[in-house]
Amino acid sequence: DKDEVLGSALMSRPSDCLKVATSGDKTLTCGQMKYAVTGRGGKGFRAAHRSTFLHIIKPEIALVDWTALESTT
């Protein structure tokens, strides 16, 4: 197998997740609450059966409105 790393994410809250686009035009969401620990001999879990992963879907960046924050102080 030719496995490769597509990306990673720091997940500090249970609601944090990593979204991946698949070749089947779907979005797979991986998070702390989705998958439990498995015993597949160190192989982890099988997330996609008939498709492959294409790329990581990056979350939108939330810009801070500094002028609004400064006017409240």
* Assigned domain for 6 exists: no
Q: Over the stretch 50-73, which tens digit does the pLDDT of each residue have?
A: 888 889 998 888 899 898 888 766
Note down the domain range covering 43.
Answer: 17-71
* Assigned domain for 11 exists: no
* Assigned domain for 41 exists: yes
* Assigned domain for 52 exists: yes
3-state secondary structure of 70: helix
The number of distinct structural domains making up the chain is 1
Rounded distance between C-alpha atoms, residue 59 and residue 36, angstroms: 24
Task: Please give the pLDDT value at position 1.
Answer: 63
* Assigned domain for 23 exists: yes
Helix ranges restricted to H, 1-73: 66-71
* Assigned domain for 27 exists: yes
* Assigned domain for 7 exists: no
Q: Over the stretch 19-51, which tens digit does the pLDDT of each residue have?
A: 999 998 899 888 877 766 666 666 666 677 788
